[in-house]
Amino acid sequence: MAEVHLVGTLLGAHAPTLLSAATGLACKYALVAGPAWTVIEGTASAQTHVDVPSDGEWAVWSHPLDVHFATRSLHAWPKLVFEVVAQDALSRMAVAGYGLVQVPMAPGTYRLECTLWRPACATWVEALKRQFLGVAPALKSLDAVAASADRAHMVTESVPCTVHVEISVIHRGLTPHGVHVAASRSTAAGLAGLG
């Protein structure tokens, strides 16, 4: 059985506009993969601490990612799903936005950026609740973020927040199964500069 090891750091989020109204941000994340993928070691989902940034622009989490998968198929390669929550001055937590980024298939180290979105208010009452009470429409589960069929029917709006991740992809045992994935050019060039 082939194995894929994902090691990295959920660095944080750049959200100057969002942080002008919130005192802090936290992030729930999940590594979502298909039914042929099994977690051997590590935690595929977790939540960061709430960071109250001093500069008002960057929420720094530096949360470790370390998941070891075994797989029988390359179908439904892992994706990182995010739910960023904002804390207000009264310590109330509300969903700020959701995001999804595909984990690269080629081995190497990558810096990924994910711009967030959220469900749009369907009525003027929901818009008033969001504006004055901080209550916004939210998804029942992060599964809806990863499922493209569910997302296709949603009306969304962008959120001025970008989540930053650094991740290393390590393969083992793909070649005997006829899979040859070369390292990306950017990763190979970066590693050549280290020598």
Q: How far apart are CA 123 and CA 38, in angstroms?
A: 41
Give phi and psi for 174, each to the nearest 5: -80, -35
Band (186; pLDDT cuts 50, 70, 90): low
Q: How far apart are CA 103 and CA 112, in angstroms?
A: 9
Those residues with Cβ within 8 angstroms of residue 162's Cβ, 6 or more apart along the chain or in another chain: 13, 14, 15, 113, 114, 115, 116
pLDDT digits (tens, 9 = 90+) for 159-170: 889 999 999 999
- Rounded to 10 degrees, the C-alpha dihedral 60/61/62/68 comes to -150
Q: How far apart are CA 124 and CA 147, in angstroms?
A: 28
Whether 129 shows a pLDDT value over 80: the answer reads no
Band (155; pLDDT cuts 50, 70, 90): confident
Look at the block and give the residue holding tokens 């298909």. 34
Domains of the chain, each with CATH number or no CATH:
2-192 (2.60.40.150)
pLDDT digits (tens, 9 = 90+) for 72-114: 888 899 999 999 998 888 888 888 899 999 999 999 999 999 9
The predicted model scores a pTM of 0.82
pLDDT digits (tens, 9 = 90+) for 32-60: 999 999 999 999 999 999 998 887 789 99
